[in-house]
């Protein structure tokens, strides 16, 4: 089986040639796109192997059989079965394995790879524009056609021996996290905007799926979709994962394409994924059924700007609150959008900066209404430096529409992490500790507290976690008598040391006027006398 370690080694080597030509935010498109195509090709060859009952798992050998079969009398039957299973077909002369053979023979042409991309994009409406971020003819790959050809060939060769059909991990997730960890100085914050670390995604999905493990036809929604990792983590906690329906919207077109790739890589059938490219706050989506979902998971851009025009006061997402989140901080706009699309028995988990817990003005008014309506179920403060896009600690806010009381459970998980390189990371032990506390709603000294509505009201609806979870550790009282005795002992030791140095110096230097003057100067430095 292929491992992430092997993939990382190949990824590092494949990045070398591109790093000298463009920044990480650009060359990630080439790496992710080429790896995605390799995955599709390997999966199709693996399907060929199963259909034809070929025992050999070697891709080169399967390729030979595929080429022979597609020239035989049963070619149409094989092509039809492949298309039924995948909605598209990669021709024998367009497989990644075939391209590698051409590269080795010196006959590979970029136009053929571009044609292969186009054929997949034309195979179904859901695949349109899937590879549009991979500009095979960009001058950043080289000024001459042969330079572009060579640079892409070098990248492809690095992955030639990796069989993605047998890969044991989350391909795009592993690749992207590795890129962020190792090329962070190049990619900067922008590259990490749409990536939620796997461990944080896992915690959010675990909470959102609590009690829904056996629900058939579960619907999950992420209106700030990013790479799709939040949605895809949900399936790990479902006993009916094949029936989950995924809904998501993403503003950035490149990131939207990445999420589509991610769905395909996780074998999510087209009829179970409904993804859209658009502005979540300006254009409410979805507006066609279903519009409310069993689980909503979000990691929106923190404190982003938004339009906030008066017309939004009539928008059903915001109308109930009478005010709009400030233009300079869209945090509550994202929260209210997600909450509007949550089913009554559903659970919403959203990551936001700590400022949403205590900021005044319109945000305070919105927060007060949410609390009075009993919508906020829990506030979990996470550790700093967990994310690639920011080093600040963030809060995980859990909301429900079916609560029967107005209490809020606070968890201070700011110390729940393990150091990994220059980042912090939630461990499985950390995740289980937080989840167990959330499920129990029990009082845990210096970690968790269930605050009644009256207590929150007394705090003027300020949800800053230290107001509810006291993590202060009292210092041991200082014994002044012991401190005084220690100081006296140190001074006595200092005087004895001076006398010993003096005696040694008197024995070493000649009894001359010059030597005595040097000795006097030395003793003044020590703070003593001859």
405 SS3 class: coil
> Can you give the pTM of this predicted structure?
0.84
Helical ranges in 70-216 per DSSP H: 75-86, 96-105, 110-123, 145-158, 171-182, 184-192, 198-208
Least confident of 107-121, 203-217, 494-508, 513-527: 513-527
Question: How open is the CA angle 410-416-419, to the nearest 5 degrees?
Answer: 155
Cβ neighbours of 357 (radius 10 Å): 21
Least confident of 26-30, 37-41, 241-245, 391-395: 26-30
Q: Which of 195, 164, 229, 232 is nearest to 7 (CA)?
A: 164
Q: Which of 387, 52, 448, 413 is nearest to 197 (CA)?
A: 387
Q: Which of 220, 394, 363 is nearest to 292 (CA)?
A: 220
Residue 123 and residue 87 in contact, taking contact as beta carbons nearer than 8 Å: yes
**Burial degree of 116 (CB within 10 A; 0-12, 13-18, 19+):** buried
pLDDT tens for 331-365 read: 999 999 999 999 999 999 999 999 999 999 999 99
Least confident of 177-186, 321-330, 391-400: 177-186
Radius of gyration in angstroms for the set of CA atoms belonging to the chain, rounded to a whole number: 31
Average pLDDT score over residue span 209-222: 96
The model's confidence at residue 61, banded by pLDDT at 50, 70 and 90, is: very high
Cis omega before residue 286 (within 30°)?
A: yes
Residue 248 and residue 223 in contact, taking contact as beta carbons nearer than 8 Å: yes
pLDDT at 5: 67
pLDDT tens for 392-402 read: 899 999 999 99
Report how many helices (DSSP H) and strands (DSSP E) the chain contains, helices first.
18, 11
106-115, 185-194, 497-506: which is most confident: 106-115
Residues found in the chain: 530
**Burial degree of 203 (CB within 10 A; 0-12, 13-18, 19+):** buried
Average pLDDT score over residue span 406-415: 98
Q: How far apart are CA 411 and CA 350, in angstroms?
A: 15
Q: Which residue has the higher pLDDT, 113 or 20?
A: 113
The overall average pLDDT reported for the chain is 89
Does residue 518 register a pLDDT over 70? no
101 SS3 class: helix
Contacts of 470 (CB under 8 A, 6+ apart): 446
């Amino acid at each position: 089986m292929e491992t992430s370690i092997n993939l990382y080694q190949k990824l590092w080597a494949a990045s070398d040639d591109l790093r000298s030509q463009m920044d990480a935010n650009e060359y990630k498109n080439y790496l992710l796109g080429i790896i995605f195509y390799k995955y599709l090709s390997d999966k199709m060859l693996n399907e060929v192997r199963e259909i034809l009952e070929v025992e050999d798992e070697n891709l080169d050998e399967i390729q030979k059989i595929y080429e022979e079969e597609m020239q035989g009398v049963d070619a149409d039957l094989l092509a039809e079965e492949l298309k039924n299973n995948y909605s598209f077909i990669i021709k024998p002369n367009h497989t990644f394995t075939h391209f590698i053979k051409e590269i080795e023979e010196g006959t590979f042409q970029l136009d053929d790879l571009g044609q292969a991309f186009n054929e997949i994009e034309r195979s179904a409406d859901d695949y349109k524009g899937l590879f549009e971020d991979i500009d095979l003819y960009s001058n950043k790959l080289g000024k001459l056609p042969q330079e572009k050809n060579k640079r892409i060939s070098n990248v492809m060769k690095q992955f030639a021996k990796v069989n993605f059909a047998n890969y044991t991990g989350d391909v795009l997730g592993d690749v992207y996290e590795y890129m962020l960890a190792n090329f962070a100085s190049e990619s900067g914050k922008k590259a990490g905007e749409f990536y939620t670390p796997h461990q944080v995604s896992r915690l959010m999905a675990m909470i959102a799926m609590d009690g829904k493990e056996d629900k058939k036809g579960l619907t999950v929604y992420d209106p700030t979709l990013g790479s799709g990792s939040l949605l895809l983590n949900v399936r790990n906690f479902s006993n009916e994962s094949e029936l989950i329906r995924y809904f998501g919207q993403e503003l950035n077109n490149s990131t939207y394409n990445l999420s589509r790739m991610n769905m395909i890589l996780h074998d999510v059938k087209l009829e179970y994924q409904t993804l859209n490219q658009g502005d979540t706050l300006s254009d409410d989506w979805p507006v066609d059924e279903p519009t409310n979902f069993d689980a909503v998971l979000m990691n929106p851009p923190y404190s982003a700007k938004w339009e906030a025009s008066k017309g939004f006061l009539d928008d059903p997402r915001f109308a109930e609150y009478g005010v709009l989140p400030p233009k300079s901080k869209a945090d509550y706009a994202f929260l209210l959008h997600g909450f509007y699309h949550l089913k009554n028995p559903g659970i919403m988990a959203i990551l936001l900066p700590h400022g949403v817990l205590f900021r005044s003005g319109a945000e305070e008014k919105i927060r007060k209404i949410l609390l009075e309506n009993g919508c906020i179920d829990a506030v979990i403060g996470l550790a700093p430096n967990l994310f690639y896009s920011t080093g600040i600690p963030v809060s995980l806010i859990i909301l429900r529409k079916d609560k029967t009381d107005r209490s809020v459970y606070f968890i201070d998980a700011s110390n729940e992490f393990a150091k990994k390189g220059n980042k912090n990371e939630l461990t499985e032990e950390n995740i289980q500790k937080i989840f167990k506390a959330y499920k129990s709603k029990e009082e845990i000294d210096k970690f968790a507290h269930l605050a009644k509505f009256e207590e929150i009201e007394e705090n003027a609806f300020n949800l800053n976690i230290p107001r509810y979870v006291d993590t202060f550790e009292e210092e041991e009282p200082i014994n002044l008598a012991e401190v005084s005795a220690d100081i006296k002992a140190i001074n006595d030791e200092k005087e004895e040391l001076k006398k010993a140095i003096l005696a040694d110096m008197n024995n070493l230097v000649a009894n001359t006027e010059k030597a005595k003057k040097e000795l006097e100067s030395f003793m003044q430095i020590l703070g003593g006398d001859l």
